[in-house]
Structure 1
Amino acid sequence: MGQDFRRGFDVGLAAASEARRWLVDALALRGRDAEDVALLVSELVSNSVQHAGLQAGQQVSVRASRTDAVLRVEVSDEGGRFGKASASPDRRDGGRGLVLVSALSDDWGVHPDDTTRLWFTYTTRDAAA
């Protein structure tokens, strides 16, 4: 049986850390799974906060679903369409977050619609978690 979780986070410097804590607690993750998923969601929320051009009062939304050991996490914002998604490690100005997402997740991508929605899937090491 699947589980679904959703929460919005006010745009600001604390959004990534708040999302990280909330998601790890909501999914009851421990150990390496908690570390990996915390980093993954932090990178996507930070990306939204930094690049979406959102204003005070707007939010970044995190949605997570879990079926057995497989997690699917979406991070969305109202910042408009996402540009070309790249997990290239060759950037010199930072921007290595999607490289980490690519390395730690099973899969990731961008939904092609009028909002910015990035997602990743992750298989936990403990199927009974």
Structure 2
Amino acid sequence: MLSEKELKEIERGLRERYKTLLEEVREKLRAARVPTGSDQADALIEEGDMALADLLSHTSMLEGQRDVQELQSIEGALERIKDGSFGTCVHCGNEIERPRLKVHPTAVRCMRCQEDYERTYAGTVTPTL
């Protein structure tokens, strides 16, 4: 079980990461809305390399999706801290290992259940590139 001090440290770290990531997402959105006429994608299109331009655009979109997923994971962890369920495995109900929570505070499963989950669902995600 995490001490109150450890829980506060994790909460503070989550809030800081959330704030930083949210600002990064906002900056990416601002940059995407402002046509510069000189970004890599525009230059590649002018050179006729549409496939590479599409890849750059798709990569940017995937980064945005990953950022949003991380924001949602952080929100979930903060909610679990608030409701007292932080550190409890959603699968078996056992305590999530302290070292795991310290390096991966958004974890929702203990190591054993996470390994089972990954074995069960390994290879079920279709690559997008």
> Which category describes the TM-score, using the shorter chain as reference length?
under 0.3
Higher RCO (C-alpha 8 Å, min separation 6): 1
Greater strand share, structure number: 1
| TM-score normalised according to structure 2 size | 0.28
Greater helix share, structure number: 2
Greater radius of gyration (CA): 2
